[in-house]
Structure 1
Amino acid sequence: MARTPDPRKREELLAAVVGYLEEHGVNDLSLAPMAEALGTSKRMLLYYFGDRQSLLEQAMNASRPKAGDIFGDVDSPQDLEIASMKLWHALTRGAQRRSVRLLLQVLSLATTDPENYGEFATTATDLMLTPITNAFRDAGFAAKDAAMRATLVVSGLRGLCQDLLISGDRARVDAAAQLMVKAAVTPA
């Protein structure tokens, strides 16, 4: 009879996998070197996560920001601004700051290797856009306007994250984030 995977061990291993991917990236990902670096075996990675694609999918799911948690109770433009800035702070200072590098790499790889990374990128974008679009609608914006404004927040913050990672100019990029968020949440 096959042994049942230990959920606690799986959770610990998943956190280690996420940390490894945040540090080393996903381009040219090979399970054997990862397993060695994590003090386990390729066989154990496959046992807990399935194949390489499944492991990557689970790591991406575990590492992405929970926009639904941040935007769940939003019902006004002021709440939208506060929630958008909370997201910005989570991405640049909080728990999500390390996973931003991983997300940006996957999104970039999706443009040149859509067969392997396109679905990850689409899912990552949708999981951010959907709750933010819903929050804009809950705050009184029409459906089409809500979707455009949510796209501005998601894509704008993502681009500013990349700028911050490259330039390190926190003051300039923080000011740009505030300006972009203000523009996105201000009714016409």
Structure 2
Amino acid sequence: MPRKPDPTRKPELLGQILEHLRGRSLATVSFRTLAEALGVSTYVFVYHFGNRAELIAEIVRAVVARNDGLLAVAVAELDREAFEKHLAKVWHDVSTERGRDLHRLELEAALLETVAGEADGTARATVGRWVDHVAAWVSANGVTPAEAKVSARVFVDALFGLQYDAIVSGDGRRASAAYKQAVETLVARPPQR
């Protein structure tokens, strides 16, 4: 009788894979390279992930899921000060070395999804999730939903652009200062409650 699969093994492997990929590209992923890096057999990856495409899909889902906790915050219920604190937490999380590394992987995945024509790709959907998140607060503060979406998109594009800047330039302080200004601009627009 075969052994029952360990339900903790796959998430454990994904965590190890993400740490391994922090300094590498998704393009380098293969069962063989991961097996060598993590000291396991290629069979382990075949067993848990099936094939390379499924492995990449799981990696991308794990990378994108890192922000699920931040996106779960019911921002429409927050006052201005609490929303600013929330956005400060967002920047703190994304601007750590790990946050920048995972954002780089997310950008790579989104570009690969674009080339592959995956309009509803997991990584590509990330920007929309953030726009909806920010727009919820803006519209709850007296801005029409259409205008709130535009304001949110401007802010989210700044957020993603500043993350890109921090990755490419290595100057996190400069990006942090610009992010602070983007937050001030966003929260100054809606009327106070």
Matches within 5 A, 1:16-27: 16-27=16-27
* Paired residue type of 1:10: K
Aligned to 1:104: 107
Q: What's the counterpart of residue 94 of structure 2?
A: 91
Which residue is 2:13 aligned to?
Answer: 13
1:95 Cα deviation after fit: 5.6
Unaligned runs of 5+ in 2: none
Cα 1:107–1:122 change in 2 (3 A) is closer
Q: What do you get for the CA RMSD once the two structures are aligned?
A: 2.6
Q: CA deviation at 1:117?
A: 8.7
* Identity fraction in percent: 26
* Partner Cα distance (1:77, 1:40) in 2: 49
Distance 2:24 2:119 in 1: 17
Contact 1:106 1:117 in 2 (8 A): no
Q: Distance in 2 between matches of 1:166 and 1:136?
A: 30
Alignment check: 8 A CA contact 1:107 1:117 kept: no
Question: Structure 1's 155 and 31: CA in aligned 2 closer, same or farther, altered over 3 A?
Answer: farther
**CA contact 2:60–2:123 (8 Å) conserved in 1:** no
Structure 1 residues 166, 3: CA separation in 2 closer, same or farther (over 3 Å shift)?
same
TM-score, scaled relative to structure 2: 0.80
Task: For 1:117 and 1:143, locate their aligned partners in 2 and report how far apart those are by CA, in whole Å.
Answer: 24
Partners of 1:8 and 1:99 in 2: how far apart? 22
- What letter matches 2:101 in structure 1? R
Aligned-partner Cα distance in 1 for 2:109–2:119:
6
* 1:44 to 2:44 alignment: yes
What residue ranges of structure 1 are gaps of 5+ in the alignment? none
Take 1:178 and 1:13, find their aligned partners in 2: how far apart are those partners?
Answer: 36
Task: Count the aligned residue pairs.
Answer: 187
User: Could you say if the C-alpha distance between residues 142 and 98 of structure 1 is closer, same or farther in structure 2, counting changes exceeding 3 Å?
Assistant: same
CA displacement at 1:72 relative to structure 2: 4.5
Asked if 1 retains the 8 angstrom alpha-carbon contact of 2:135 and 2:151, the reply is: yes
Output the CA distance in 2 between the equivalents of 1:170 and 1:177.
10
The TM-score, its normalising length taken from structure 1, stands at: 0.82
